Amino acid sequence: MLQKEIIIAPSLLAANFLEIGKEVEMVNHSEAGWLHLDVMDGRFVPNISFGLPVIRDIKKVSSKPLDVHLMILEPEKYAKDFRDAGADHLIIHYEVCPHLHSNLQQIRSLGMKTGVAINPHTPVSFLQDVIQDIDQVCLMSVNPGFGAQTFIPHSLVKIRELRQMIDEKKLHTLIEIDGGVNLENAADIIAAGADVLVAGNTVFSADDPHDMIKKLRAANV
């Protein structure tokens, strides 16, 4: 049986920001499929990262799709701005969207892929009625806000539940796992049903980031 194609999305939050151009070029020349960008507002999560000007500059040098993860309140106010800055995928959090279906319609109308992230405490079943409108579900396998955290084991149960939901509806929604991904757990995550692995510290702190990306991508072989 053919192995499915695994997408690695290095998270730039873990990069050396004094060498940001070089870090993006490293990803450009690697086997990574996407570049993951975490935007934090200090309100929804207890941290502040970077915003539109940084993404706009990254877009100028990145050859990979920009997978932009908004950990912010009221994402609908900024969706067009992030599209204009270069976002190819826009991930918003279930927990901040009382009108999630409307949010997804907005993102799709702007020409971006639709993404929904759910925190560790949020049941997968809450996406049952909108899953057909989501291009990718980002399951947070750590509490959002900071990198270099430990993978929450129960996330594997949630991946399997989500995989079953997607397969039963015969959809092509991708399952993206964000938090604590490394070589020790990547195979189990993929086996549970994940399609996309977000990896920050694991990639950017490696002695050979190119090789690390290659190994993560091959973890299901």
Q: Which residues are catalytic?
A: 38, 178
The token pair that represents 201 in the structure block: 């510290």
Report how far apart, in Å, the C-alpha atoms of 190 and of each of 16, 19, 25, 70, 141 are.
28, 31, 27, 24, 13
How is the chain classified by DSSP, letter by letter? -PPPPPEEEEBGGGS-GGGHHHHHHHHHTSS---EEEEEEBSSSSS-B---HHHHHHHHHH--SPEEEEEESS-GGGTHHHHHHHT-SEEEEEGGG-TTHHHHHHHHHHTTPEEEEEE-TTS-GGGGTTTGGG-SEEEEESS-TT-SSPPP-TTHHHHHHHHHHHHHHTT--PEEEEESS--TTTHHHHHHHT-SEEEESHHHHTSSSHHHHHHHHHTTT-
